[in-house]
Structure 1
Amino acid sequence: MPPTFPMSRQCPYHPPAGYDALREEGPLAQVELYDGRTAWAVTGYAETRALLTDPRLSSDRSRPDFPVLVPRMAAAKLVALVGMDPPEHGVQRRMLIPSFTVKRVNSLRPAIRRTVVDRIEALTASGRRQADLVPEFALPVPSTVICELLGVPYTDHEFFEEQTRRMLHATSTAEDAAAAAGALVRYFDELVGARIDEPGEGLLGELVAERLVTGELTRAELSSIAMFLLVAGHETTANMIALSILALLEHPKQLDRLRTADAKGASEAVEELLRFLSVADELQRVAAADIEIAGRVIREGDAVYLPNAAANRTPEVFPDPDTLDLGRSARGHLAFGYGIHQCIGQNLARAELEIALQELAVRLPGLRLAEPVERLGTKPGGSVQGILRLPVAW
């Protein structure tokens, strides 16, 4: 009988132990989903890259045979960008690319740094010596940044953060996830409506003026895009920041290395953390035609999962893969996916991680965990990977 999938991590910064058993079966192995459906889990690095560029694998979440990993996914499907196939996917992606180029993100770095420094100063205000870095640093930094980029009021952050949690946490019921998704849809529909009369600043206003008014996008499409960007723009990066801090505190020599790194060294450090942590695990697809790969045949209609945490620990590609080494060249990692669906916000995420982690390391040199790792709470498989709490002292 195939093992169940998704699998949960025993240690927050290492992949599930079950990935090793899957890898022993070869680069592709069969697993069983919660509803009894059999799926393929791809653990090989080369096979993952090949399949993520294979047009015979569909990302279209509106397909009736698209796989459901956990119950809440049946109710809360983010269809913009990641849930589309060409040509619709390419049309929307081209609209957004100018806002996420390296040049554009570099222009945002001073604002990102101000946000990070403000949060650190708030942590140390009035002589404080301890805090939970999840709600007080890891979450508000990317939330503030993506709100400013989109032109969404940060005053609404508690609302959309809570709805995102209800929608994306693996243990949420389908009903709860649907209610949260509905609340976010209504929120963005109202926001888009308000921008028609007064576009204001930010990407949302630009899209209203340049794409909605011209008829290139419908109001529903634009609301869906804005919802996707906001949810993806803060949830994944928040988990990466928190988990990176934890991993660095557990590897003090690597933390010291980051603290003294130059710009190139900080960039390399972030790439290794992205590889090592792989928080956006369990990429999912459905086969639109038969595919022969690695001596196996993926049949049309088969569910396919590509856990990049497994691919990113392939020893033939990343020697000694279970060791965190900020000096290694990890640029070939698949933490942002690969192919046409590679994360559009990766340049922004990299900038936020570089600035947040290095500023924290430099400004709080005595930073340390205030509780054992096993008490922090690890998010279950089927969620963006991360921890529930990060209590620290300095």
Structure 2
Amino acid sequence: MDPVEFRLANAWQDGSLGPTGQTMKGVGLKDAITRATRSAGWREFMATLGGRRARDGRYARGMGVACGLIPSVGIHSSAAYVKLNEDGRVVLVTGAEDTGSGAVTGLVMIAAEELGVSPEDVILRSGDTDFVPWDGGAQGSRTMYGAGTAVMRAARDPKEQIVKVASHVLKVEAKRIVLRDGAARELGTDRLVKYPELAMTAQYVIGGPILGRGSFVQDFPEYDRDTIEGYTFVPSLHDPTYVAHVAEVEVDTLTGKVRVLRYVAAQDLGYCINPLGAEGQIQGGAVQGIGYALFEEMLHDDSGLTVNPNLGEYKLPTIMDVPVVEPIIVEGHYGSGPYGAKGVGEANIVPPAPAVANAIFDATGARVRKLPMKPERTLEALDELLKPLSK
């Protein structure tokens, strides 16, 4: 059976039951599989080169597909504050930190969207535990999901204050006020009050600055408690983000070296807030996963000491080892994060190793069953394949 058809036939969809009886919602796995394989040219490859027919002398080419998921782990809470400054800019205070993912850029974009200002007019304050609120940390693919929800709620909180002051200044009903382009505007007219004036006027109309606060605590999905007796961690899946990856590889059957020629990665994000950042996360996870598949291994001697403790000896993939990863963002299968968003970061490290292993199998018929799939292990798998023929 074609590997793609097999996965499509067995993939979760809305209404599927998870392993603990949880009813799955917002499942975009089939869309991710379809879009990744279509972009990679799966059917065309299999019709012309696949199935261990892609041989050029000692070199064999193959294509593999693999899927995965990671829940948007929201069990840790988040909180955020916003303040409209008297210069018209918005201060966003959050305990969320950026570890290189670009997630806090997305938080700024959320605050800007809600309050009708440009992201350049949002001042971010994070990291100083003397004054930032609690946040559960940059882990579990939760920053945009959990901290993003807190920021969205914090930015929505002061809207009533802003509208009240604008209604007082413009002498119109509150329902006729919209927030856009750094001002409160009367619907259907050119009348407006810009945020600097509005923030100053607020001192006299509401007796203080315009402030907002928001928080996030995850609700647990329903699950069958009888299936989890003895667990110390509730095994329910909070809005999983689903991924499907396709790898095309070339196997040197003489040396066992595997080279990734092309890589496509599709991810179901529900709603994508920061496309550029999300694409970077997809590419970064895929590259790290390729390293895990082919290169990276901690080696120890008999006494337990690490024998490759530095980057000169611990093999990380470089720009020469991986192709440009083609990222595909799948939307429309919404989660419960801001605007329907799900987590992003960790899911893309899941499929690369099986995708590459499946591509090696497609190219040669050999199964490499230990990571990393170094040349010597690929040769061992090829030798195992040939043993029955030598008898």
The structure where strand makes up a greater share of residues is 2
TM value normalised by structure 2: 0.21
TM value normalised by structure 1: 0.21
The structure where helix makes up a greater share of residues is 1
